[in-house]
Each structure stands twice: as C-alpha cells, then as structure tokens.
Structure 1
Amino acid sequence: MKHVIRSVRAVRAVRADEWPAAKELRLAALRDPVAHLAFLETYEEVVGKPDSFWRERTARAAEGVRERQQFVAEGADGRWVGSVVVLVEEAGAEGALGDVSEVRQGHLVGVFVRPEARGVGLTERLFARALEWAWDVAGVERVRLFVHERNARAEGFYRKIGFVPTGNTVSVPGDPGARELEFVMKRP
C-alpha cells in the first residue's frame, strides 16, 4: 500500500543550515520519472557534488534573501515533501533560461512534490506561499514559469491555479528541438 501524506506541518522558507534536507529533496526530485521534463539538471550531474555546493545553493535561497527564496513543505514528521523556488529577475537582465525580461518579475523554478504528497492540495499551498512572497516581499508585478511542452500534468496544474500562457517559448537547453512554454500570473 502506498503511503500518502495527509497532513503538512508547515510551508515555510528554508534556512541556510538546512542544506542536508535541501540536498535530499532535490536528489529525490531528480529521480522522479518526469524529471527530464521538469528540471534542467540531472541526478547524475549533481549527486557527486561536494557538501559545499549544497551549502552554498541552500544559503542563496534561504530565508531573508531578497533575490530568491526557496519554500518547502514539511510533513507531520518533519520530512520535506515539496518545494518551489522563486527567482527575482530584473527588467533588462538575462533570465534563468537565457531570455531577457522586459519587466521585473518573479520566476518559479524547482517545483517538486513527492508522489505520496500529490493530490492533497500541497502544491497549491506551496504556490500560495511563493506568490505571497513574490508580491509582498519581492514586490514584483508578475510571476512566470516555464513548462516543457510534453509535461501536460504540470501545465494543467498551472492553468488551474491561474497561470496563463504568453505564447513565448524557449528551447530546452541540451535539446533544441524541444520547447519550454512560458506562463504568467499578474499581481492581483
């Protein structure tokens, strides 16, 4: 019988000293069956990285940082069961996928929820917290994300919570024949 997460203790910003949990969750995400559609790095590329890599990565996205913030969901037992990262992209600067943003905006990346925690509203809670931070702390007027053209499950979720396609696309790094579709949500 599959273990299902029914309760979440907290959805909160990560702290810099939580790099071991951040590492474990990211490696789990990269082993997910659709990781090749959802993430720009692979398990093989990062599994052997030294602890200093994970410390620095977590510190850059930790609570109190203004240009990016990682949010995690903790199960009732304290184990991390989901995550999303908000990057702040400045107008005129190169964005995360090599494009140039016309406006200052948030960019959601690294979305992952463990299979046993899917379908119970957790992703909605993660996104609500990430969007709240983007609007209220980062002060952006819009938030975007990209979804692989073959990731229908993720695209359906993004549409359901209010993201709309812009029609803009970018090539998938390492696979120029594949496209990432841009979706945005404007500040309410």
Structure 2
Amino acid sequence: MDERYEVRPVRPEDAPGIAALRRMPGIVEDTMGLPSCRDTDSADFVEDLGDNDHYFVAVTEDGTVIGSAGLAVYSSPRTRHVGCLGICVHPDHQGQGVGTALMAALLELADDWLMLERIELDVFSDNVRAQALYEKMGFVKEGLKRRSAIRKGRYADEYLMARLRPGSQA
C-alpha cells in the first residue's frame, strides 16, 4: 500500500465519491459515464454488485475516492472464463501509480482467485495515457471499434484491448 492512498474493496460509503469521480472533467470524457451521474446512481450500483462483480477503490487517508476499478465476470457458461475491466483515476492523481495499483489488484484477483483466462476492455482511440497503462499491464490491441461511442457531441472510436492470463494455453 502507498502511504498516500489505500486500494481496497468498495464500501457503501464510497458511493458519493465514486459519483463525483465519474462526473469529473478529465474523467467523464474517457468513460461511458454521463455528467448527470447522481450519487444515488453510484449507491445503487454498489448495492447491486453481484457475485460476478468485483470493485476496488483507491482512497486517501481521509476517505476521498481518487480512483476506482471494476471487473465483471461474464456469466454465460461459454464465456465464464472472461472478464471485462473498467478503471478511472482522479486527474490530480494520474501518473502517480494509482491506476497501476488498482489494475494490479484486479489482475491478481482475476489470475489467482477467479482463474480467468481473458480480461478485456474498451479504450478511446485517442486516450494514449490509458493505453500505455493497459499495455504495461499486458493488454494488447485486438481491434478498432469505429464510431462506437458518443463523446462531447461526436462519434468516437475505441480500441478493444485484451490480456490473456500469463502462462495459459489455448
């Protein structure tokens, strides 16, 4: 654990901080969130997390949420070995290891506890900072999803990136 923050499983009291983070300029543009995200939306999200949903937050000593990351395991019997990852880090804390710590927590869970073979994510094609983090963590670009999302009144492209479990075989 870094002395400036702790990475831990989400708690109900984190919901307002998660909502504030998701609405924040510098975050909302690069996620599938909306600027209208309400605290109650995040509270409902945290409350409704199921057995296949795993969510961590990075919090400062005073409890301020500075990052969040989730891993959803697909529930279909044919894709039970696959999870989908999402992450966001407060703009003032980017480049300080918060994203790496959150990703490491999720990937350890995926590899050592859930035995997932594949983790996938989508990232905007112009979000090179996030792409660099994902590549550092073993993800590779598998394809370009053209005009797959709306961002600030325009269609935007996303890369599909994935990571196969180290040491796994097809």
TM-score in terms of structure 2 length: 0.80
- Structure-to-structure mapping, 1:23-172, within 5 angstroms: 23-28=19-24, 31-32=25-26, 35-36=28-29, 38-44=30-36, 46=37, 49=38, 51=40, 53-61=41-49, 65-91=50-76, 104-109=81-86, 111-167=87-143, 169=145, 171-172=147-148
Unaligned runs of 5+ in 1: 1-5, 94-101
CA shift, 1:152, in A, is: 1.6
Aligned partner of 1:97 in structure 2 is none
Root-mean-square deviation over aligned CA pairs: 2.6
Give the aligned residue type for 2:98.
L
Identity of aligned residues (%): 27
Unaligned runs of 5+ in 2: none
Cα distance in structure 1, aligned partners of 2:89 and 2:150: 25
How many residues are matched?
A: 163
TM-score in terms of structure 1 length: 0.73
Is residue 86–residue 108 contact of structure 1 (8 Å, CA) maintained in 2?
yes
Is residue 170–residue 180 contact of structure 1 (8 Å, CA) maintained in 2?
yes
